[in-house]
Amino acid sequence: MHLDRRKQTILQTIVVTYVQRAEPVGSQFLASVESLGVRSATIRNELAEMTELGYLRQPHTSAGRIPSDLGYRYYVDHLMTWDRLAPTEARTIRGAQKLSEGDLEQLLQQTCRVLSSLTGYTAMATPPAIDEPAIRQVHLAQVGSNQLLAVVMLDNGQVTHRFCDVGRNLSPAEVTELSNFLDSLLRETTVGSVGQVSPPVDQFTGYHDVIRSLLDVIARGVSSEEAELFVDGQSHMLEQPEFRESNRLEPLVRFLEERRTAFETLQQLLTQHRDLAVTIGRENPHESMHEVSLVAARYRAVTQSGGWVAVLGPTRMQYSQAVSAVQYAAQTLTEALTRLGG
């Protein structure tokens, strides 16, 4: 839904103010904003309508409003100013290259350390994928009335097995048809492109939800079993008001410690995007990430398919700063790897 100018101004003001103060924003404060030029009563009506539409939340009956995930999404997509990184911050990121002395592992570690320090969020990076394999064959086996086992063979000899609950009962004949269809759809598709594959609209029209579930499971499953994830700045989560309660922080810390799970979740999110991904709150598939947002950008390598660098923070995130810093970090990694490979 497109918001009118007044609602856009209200939403932008609430997002910016809440990010800075971490406190709900009330109608009296909004009435003091010159660009609105309306009374508190009018603003209260607007707040009530925007809350009903799902763009705002009211934590307590007498409190002001805070942005919802949908409100943050609208802000990022339509209202956010895409600022350039400050020269001092750019020099700091570039300085990570000098500390690495040409070592790829050190380069990624230093980039995460600098990115986390600049943004105040947890930083992550994946190493560049080497000779990205392609799918040779897909086979589905029925292990329950509504559960399938997807077996995927790659051209490098790797075989992955992933279970998928498809949410409906399927007959053996239906499973066979779906298996043949997925095999023809995905054969020779590189593992990094699986998340971008969609079934033709005129085929298996009644099974698109099943196929989408299977494609998501396969996309996660075909990532390398030796996947590596560099992480720095987990302690920054402790500094955020949202995570002062241990019951909200503990699942996220546990998620970050389980590098394999974190890597698969990151891959699941990023295979749907080409160069930049901003996922907010419940847009993230893993329950432990429903209170956080992820900003990630792809970097390139000369002889390899590249990787991702990202920051993870609360949904109350400085999105413009995070996007600028992550994109610049990806750019400098691309430049560094180009020099190393050249």
Give the domains, in start order, of the chain with CATH numbers. Answer: 5-79 (1.10.10.10), 87-129+226-341 (3.30.450.40), 135-221 (3.30.390.60)
Per DSSP, 208 falls in state: H
Higher pLDDT, 299 or 337: 299
Q: What phi and psi values does residue 256 have, to the nearest 5 degrees?
A: -70, -30
Is the per-residue pLDDT at 229 higher than 50?
Answer: yes
Element (H, E) at 57: strand 56-57
Question: What does the block give as tokens for 324?
Answer: 């600028």
Across the range 255-266, mean pLDDT stands at 74
Q: Report whether 185 contacts 197 (CB < 8 A).
A: yes
Question: What does the block give as tokens for 6?
Answer: 């007044």
- Local confidence band at 332 (pLDDT 50, 70, 90 cut-offs): very high
Check residue 37 and give its pLDDT.
Answer: 81
Query: Number of helices and strands (H, E) in the chain?
Result: 11, 10
Q: Name the residue among 316, 249, 259, 322 with its Cα closest to residue 288.
A: 249
Q: Whole-number mean pLDDT of the chain? A: 85
Check residue 303 and give its pLDDT.
Answer: 58
Higher pLDDT, 38 or 145: 38
- Local confidence band at 273 (pLDDT 50, 70, 90 cut-offs): low
The one-letter amino acid at 327? Q
Instruction: List pLDDT tens digits, range 185-228.
Output: 899 888 777 777 877 777 777 788 888 888 888 887 776 444 57
The long-range contacts involving 55-64, CB below 8 angstroms and separated by at least 24 positions, are: 55/3, 55/7, 55/11, 56/11, 56/14, 58/24, 59/24, 60/24, 63/24, 63/26, 64/23, 64/24, 64/25, 64/26, 64/27, 64/29
